[in-house]
Amino acid sequence: MRHFEHLAPSVRNGLFHQEPVAFDAGSKARTLSVALGATLYAPATRPSLAADVVKQAERGVVSMVLCLEDSIGDHDVVAAEENLVRQFAELDGGSGCVPLLFIRVRRPAQITDLVRRLGPAVRLLSGFVLPKFTEDRGVPFLEALTEAEAECGQRLFAMPVLESPELLHLETRRETLAGISRTVDKYRERVLALRLGVTDFCSAYGLRRAPDMTAYDVQLVASVIADVVNVLGRADGSGFTVTGPVWEYFRQHERMFKPQLRRTPFAGPAEELRTALIEHDMDGLLREIQLDRANGLQGKTCIHPSHVAPVHALSVVSHEEFSDAQDILRPERDGGGVLRSAYTNKMNEVKPHRAWAQRIMLRAEVFGVAREDVSFVELLAASVRAGV
């Protein structure tokens, strides 16, 4: 699989200076953690789950979470597990494209139990999402994952969700973060990415952000994101990929504030796209994606297919970013120094910007590099035309 493969080759050629590379479930963890992109959640109770998975893969989704936790009722868990086993068997017997699949469980015992029940279809499983992760609660999940991996003979990843009240509350945050850090470091080879459960953070204080506000406008949430990235998202080799929080909205609401999308980038034929994005509250999503990136987060948790294209369009590396990163990482500049960017609009300081440049090059590998005259607007418009 690869990003934007759902677009016709001629369309991709017109959009990309460097096209995304192919990857699969066996690729390096570092590559996969960035390639996750927009991770689409779906309740495990859906009767047409297998068909839905294939349909979303054909529309550009490369990672999905099939949820047995908060998205379904307590009384539906047994039926949802049975449905998952049936749907995996159907996917295993089909010929459609399948994205990276993860199961969000409630209890550690579900991991080993489901791996056994999936049988040969377990080959389609990339791992498990672990809810309300702390040191005490997380270790049993990771031990179960290790056991299941040994039993089925294939690599299985964990994606812990950081969403517990202990992480939110100021008096327990430092200790909780330290415990999470110890745990994920011990199981580093199995931890693909860390996911932020911002809805649970808001719930602890009876809050809910409006569609014209981002997670970063809710200061309680913003402070947790900052501390998580501070401790767990460092660029010195000790950090992990931390993914962006879920965007909850996908229908029009009455607005209190002006739209957050300027007209200029959408001038001409794309004006209708701007109007459609605003009508579906996508301008808030686009702003939050940009803020995710500015705050060190990669990819995003998504609960609606319409969110996938914006996340992926804004994940493509611009030609300007790519040019700067290339200049910074040239071997002859290993000694450091300062240089003017090729776009003559900024300073590139080699040593301080090196970690940024390395991250840009990894994102360029999996999401591609846009042509010099192509912006996210053209990328997004192409995906919308393709039916995403």
CA distance 34 to 363: 7
CA distance 42 to 104: 10
Angle at 216 between CA 214 and CA 219, to 5 degrees: 125
Residue with tokens 């812990």: 160
Secondary structure (3-state) at 208: coil
CA distance 92 to 15: 34
Partnered with residue 300 across adjacent β-strands are 38, 244
| 200 labeled binding residue | yes
Residue with tokens 């994940």: 315
CA distance 238 to 229: 11
Chain Cα centroid distance, residue 7: 21
CA distance 104 to 94: 23
215 burial via Cβ count (<10 Å: 0-12, 13-18, 19+): buried
Partnered with residue 128 across adjacent β-strands are 103, 158
Give the residue ranges of the annotated binding site: 200
Give the residue ranges of the annotated binding site for Mg(2+): 200
